[in-house]
Copies of this chain bind each other. A is one copy, B any other.
Amino acid sequence: MSPLPATALPGLAQPLYESIADLPIVSPHGHCDPRWWADDSAFPDPAELLIVPDHYVFRMLYSQGVALRDLGIGVARADRNPRAIFRLFAQHWDTYLGTPSRGWLEHTLYRTLGIDVALGPDTADAVYDQIAAKLATPEFRPRALFERMGIEVLATTDAALDPLEAHEAISASEWTGRIIPTFRPDDVLNPARAGHADNIARLGAMTGENTARYDGFLAAIRSRRAAFRALGATATDHDVPDLMTHWLAPAEIHALHGKAVQGALSNAEALAYYGHMLVEMAQMSADDGMVMQLHAGSRRSTNRALLAEFGPDMGADIPHAVDWVAGLDALLNRVGNDPRLRVLLFTLDESTYARELAPMAGHWPCLRLGPPWWFHDSPNGIRRYFDQVVETAGYWNLAGFNDDTRAFLSIPARHDTWRRGVALHLADQVERGVFDRRDAERLAPLLARDLAKDAYRLED
């Protein structure tokens, strides 16, 4: 018997949930590694699978005083003791109570992996052994899991300089799972990224364009976008720590690009340069039809000692307030009325849901709102999202759900959390008389799957 409690949702939510619980999964944005399906090798040990790469998981232990090295972070894989790491994690299982990580891990363990012992400090070894045994079987190889999870399509996120070899291999294989890349050009567009000038040079080498000149640089980006599209990509993605867009005069952007290739931009110039490049990307999206995703407002690596010792993505990326109206002014006023453009917005500043994002999505034809992102992709976060966006944006200006995860095994768990949230929201709307049950029944699959396909132009 599964240790997962069989909780029925209240009232109408339960039948609405059941009507969408088993729909195929559309995963249009995430960070899984395409090599998993290119190679189809067994996943590594439980610690490597569930703890070491998951900053949701290890940040919480770090906040409770656990040293990152004791969790294998900054330790060569050969020197890690996965069982000891798993025991340390299990000792702190209580600290995840109330967090979505707890819910995702429970779903992953008890449902996706089929573990039949409840995790806790005393059962760490038993659970560890069960997971390890499962991972050794063919049924838990990446391709088999992908199929059993009912994934219709999954998009990875890939740097502009990524040669896309894994995607090529999947495409060339006989396996038919639909896994597509997403074009993420931050490393060549944002001068604040490490190695930016070098990356521009590498982009030139990769595409045969003279990226030291601005027009050659744009041509090189267009070339990479086409290469991504050839492997099925329908979208781009952009991390925007400090949201600001600009449209600079030709002389100005040429001059800035001249400095950029030498790594000589000041901070203010770097912001202006990146702000201009985002508008260029929007123009290219209008031209080539790639859906543009903007993830804005995460202040990266705010713990500089950890950044120096362990690198980025150590759980110290903290959101800050975003001004979407000012930030997108240049982009929207240049391309926002173009009927070919689609831009999906993701925020970590929930105070902008009702104040800025829903009114903007309810006006601009190019905009759709992405689902709750990162810290807010949780039962209460989903409730706050629907509460604050639907009344102004309606449902058809939303982009459905995406799991945005690098933890492949948690994908069913995350979609399940969303689908429960959808059912609870729709049931609440019916109970308060906003619309009737038949409307809710139509909206449920729209929110669970169809809007995501439509928003990302993933038509079959």
Interface residues of A (CB under 8 A from B): 5, 7, 9-10, 59-60, 62-65, 94-100, 102-103, 299, 302-306, 315-321, 323, 325-326, 329, 332-333, 336-337, 339, 348-351, 354-356, 358-365, 367, 375-376, 378-381, 384, 387-388, 390-397, 424, 429, 431-436, 439, 443
Bound-state Cα–Cα, A94 to B319, Å = 35
Q: A319-B325, A378-B392 are in contact. List 18 more A-B contacts (CB 8 A).
A: A5-B433, A5-B436, A63-B362, A94-B396, A97-B394, A98-B394, A99-B391, A99-B394, A302-B325, A303-B364, A318-B325, A318-B363, A319-B355, A348-B355, A349-B355, A379-B391, A379-B432, A380-B390
| Cross-interface CB contact of A62 among B60, B306, B365, cutoff 8 Å | B365
Which of A10, A303, A362 has the most chain B CB atoms inside 10 A of its CB? A362
A298's closest neighbor in chain B, by CB? B359
Bound-state Cα–Cα, A395 to B303, Å = 22
Which of A98, A100, A332, A391 has the most chain B CB atoms inside 10 A of its CB? A98
List the B side residues contacting A317 at CB < 8 Å: 359
Q: How far is the CB of A57 from chain B (nearest CB, A)?
A: 11
Q: Which 5 A-B pairs have the closest CB atoms?
A: A7-B433, A378-B391, A351-B351, A98-B390, A375-B392
| Cross-interface CB contact of A443 among B97, B304, B433, B443, cutoff 8 Å | B97
List the B side residues contacting A393 at CB < 8 Å: 63
Q: How far is the CB of A328 from chain B (nearest CB, A)?
A: 9
Q: How far is the CB of A21 from chain B (nearest CB, A)?
A: 14
Determine whether the beta carbon of B355 is less than 8 Å from that of A321.
yes
List the B side residues contacting A63 at CB < 8 Å: 361-365, 367, 393, 397
Q: How far is the CB of A318 from chain B (nearest CB, A)?
A: 5
| Cross-interface CB contact of A355 among B306, B350, B396, B434, cutoff 8 Å | B350
Determine whether the beta carbon of B394 is less than 8 Å from that of A60.
yes
| Cross-interface CB contact of A363 among B59, B95, B378, cutoff 8 Å | B59
List the B side residues contacting A337 at CB < 8 Å: 303, 305-306
Determine whether the beta carbon of B319 is less than 8 Å from that of A359.
yes
List the B side residues contacting A391 at CB < 8 Å: 98-100, 375, 378-381
List the B side residues contacting A355 at CB < 8 Å: 319-321, 348-351
Q: How far is the CB of A301 from chain B (nearest CB, A)?
A: 11
Q: How far is the CB of A382 from chain B (nearest CB, A)?
A: 10
Bound-state Cα–Cα, A97 to B62, Å = 44
List the B side residues contacting A395 at CB < 8 Å: 95, 97-98
Bound-state Cα–Cα, A351 to B401, Å = 24
Q: How far is the CB of A441 from chain B (nearest CB, A)?
A: 12
Which of A100, A103, A354, A376 has the most chain B CB atoms inside 10 A of its CB? A354
Q: How far is the CB of A448 from chain B (nearest CB, A)?
A: 16
Bound-state Cα–Cα, A348 to B354, Å = 9
List the B side residues contacting A320 at CB < 8 Å: 323, 325-326, 355-356
